Structure 1
Amino acid sequence: MTTINRRRALSGTAAFAIGVPVLAACGSDDTATDPGASGADDPSSDPTSEPTSSGSASSGGGDSLASASDVPVGGCFVAAAAKVVVTQPTEGEFKAFSAVCTHQGCAVESSTEGDIPCPCHGSKFSLEDGSPLSGPATAALASVAITVDGDSILRA
């Protein structure tokens, strides 16, 4: 006759119920190796390409990210739907990066304070190259190629 030890069955269930949430909370602080953290899961984003800042029209007619007037000089504007942050480090110079923080995958915010801030854990990134200025993030935001056509900023 086979009987199930009730105590053993319940202790296994309890271990599972406690262990799964604990494991889920043990994420890495540096998600740069996680393809989803850098926007690499977005097929229209090429993190290896360099942003451009030209006055010529986009040859591919890419997605509109912002108008130049949306992006403050010395600040940034987040195009939330596209998960892209557009910066203007100096007058007329536009750059773009993934708007997904490399620390834990939170969305960065628009700013006029001279950096790209992440509201979740306080990381700040450079307007020039997306590199971390303060942590806990240790990896740079992935570059996103853009073109500028008059007042329109488009994904290249």
Structure 2
Amino acid sequence: MTRRKFFETANKIFGFFLILLGVFTAEDKKKKSAGEKIIIPENLNEGFNFIGNVIVVKQSKTLVAFEARCTHLGCLLNRNTGNKIVCNCHGSEYNINGEAIKGPAVKSLNKLVIHTDKKSKNLYVYV
């Protein structure tokens, strides 16, 4: 085998593996972006509703969903006092709009998009 032929073959093999790597990386990103589907129950209470990794805030007929993870260190948020969400780990507090109002967290909660299932009419979010 000539030197030229060797490098042509090596480049083809290397290119093939790069394409495979791109395909697997794209599939992995697609899986991560979909996330876990959380169905929002119909009978929500007014105010804060903690549903697994999601906080759904109901005000009159308006629903807003947030990821139930503290933006400080990612602790699960599952408690409120009055009109504030409180982190059990380090005491960060968030208002009804998901904005950090007491540290150590400084960033607002991640807002989630609420979807409607066309067949069942159920509401759901991806986390």
Does the alignment pair 1:153 with 2:123?
yes
Match of 2:82 in 1: 113
On the 8 A contact 1:147/1:154 being kept in 2, the answer is: yes
Which sections of structure 2, spanning at least 5 residues, go unmatched? 1-31
Rounded Cα–Cα distance in structure 1 between residues aligned with 2:91 and 2:105:
9
Q: How many matched pairs?
A: 94
Give the direction of change, closer, same or farther, for the CA distance of 1:98–1:104 in structure 2 (3 Å limit). same
Q: Please give the TM-score of this superposition, normalised by the length of structure 1.
A: 0.50
Q: Which stretches in structure 1 are left out of the alignment for 5+ residues? A: 1-41, 46-61
* Identical positions, percent: 27
1:87 aligns with 2:57: yes
Could you say which structure has the greater relative contact order, defined with CA pairs below 8 angstroms and 6 or more residues apart? 1
SS in 2 for 1:43: helix
Alignment partners' CA distance in 2, 1:94 and 1:76: 10
Other-structure match for 2:112:
144
1:65 aligns with 2:39: yes
Deviation, 1:44, is 2.5
User: How does the TM-score come out when normalised to structure 2?
Assistant: 0.59
Larger Rg: 2
d(CA) in 1 for partners of 2:57, 2:84: 9
Quick check: which one's helix share is greater? 2
**Structure 2 Cα separation of the partners of residues 110 and 122 of structure 1:** 11
Offset of residue 121 of structure 1:
1.2
